[in-house]
């Protein structure tokens, strides 16, 4: 197995661990411990393999560890439940501010050099991402306060995964005319 596949698996390991432990053991605290360990493992393995860790990956790991620590320290599941809301609002703010600060939006920086779409399309997609992150934050907040822990965990794993699939699919469809060249380049690697 090559390094890229190992890292991709490890990047999703916190999600997999949380889903497996939270549903099989129905214990949010044990799931939280697994999330912390797998998040640290991802960063450690990436560094050991000499691979760069992106700011988003590092930010996600730091947020997971921070909110997980608070959850375990205070034995209050509200911290881990609110991590999704807080993190998505921070990301939404960064994406929104990139429209007025700097020369390029976050989306232009993330994919602009790989997908040769017009700048306005990438700026539009960046704006849509702001609404997406605010939507995820809002839905998670509602789920946190109106669902029991087991149902919240199901929403967190399956509901958000479904929403992500729809939104990312919409983004790919929006850029469909510009993806062929990108996919051809990826195929050559």
3-state SS, 117-180, equals: CCHHHHHHHHHHHHHHHHHHHHHHHHHHHHCCHHHHHHHHHHHHHHHHHHHHHHHHHHCHHHHH
Q: For residue 13, is pLDDT > 80?
A: no
Q: In terms of residue numbers, what domain contains 119? A: 84-189
Residues 98, 182, single domain; the answer is: yes
| CA–CA distances in Å: residue 12 to residues 2, 73, 78 | 16, 25, 22
Residues 188 and 102 in one domain: yes
Give the pLDDT confidence of 46-92 residue by residue, as tens digits.
888 888 888 888 988 899 899 999 999 999 999 999 999 999 999 99
Number of domains the chain is built from: 2
In degrees rounded to 5, what are phi and psi of residue 75? Answer: 50, 45
Q: Are residues 102 and 21 in the same domain?
A: no
**Statement to judge: residues 106 and 153 lie in one domain:** yes
Q: Is the pLDDT of residue 16 over 90?
A: no
- pLDDT for residue 122: 96
DSSP 148: -
Rounded to an integer, what distance in angstroms lies between the CA atom of residue 121 and that of residue 24?
43
Taking alpha carbons only, the member of 6, 72, 74, 1 closest to residue 35 is 72
């Amino acid at each position: 197995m090559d390094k890229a596949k190992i890292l991709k698996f490890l990047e999703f390991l916190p999600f997999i661990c949380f889903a497996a432990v939270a549903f099989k053991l129905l214990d949010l605290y044990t799931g939280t411990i697994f999330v912390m360990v797998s998040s640290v493992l991802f960063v450690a393995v990436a560094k050991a393999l000499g691979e760069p860790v992106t700011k988003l990956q590092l930010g996600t790991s730091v947020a997971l560890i921070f909110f997980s620590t608070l959850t375990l320290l205070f034995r209050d599941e509200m911290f881990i439940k609110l991590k999704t809301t807080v993190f998505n609002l921070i990301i939404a703010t960064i994406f929104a501010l990139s429209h007025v600060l700097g020369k390029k939006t976050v989306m232009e920086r993330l994919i602009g050099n790989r997908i040769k779409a017009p700048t306005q399309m990438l700026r539009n997609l960046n704006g849509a991402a702001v609404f997406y992150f605010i939507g995820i934050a809002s839905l998670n907040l509602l789920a946190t306060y109106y669902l029991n822990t087991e149902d919240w965990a199901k929403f967190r794993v399956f509901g958000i995964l479904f929403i992500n699939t729809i939104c990312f699919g919409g983004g790919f469809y929006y850029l469909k005319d510009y993806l062929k060249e990108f996919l051809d380049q990826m195929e050559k690697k």
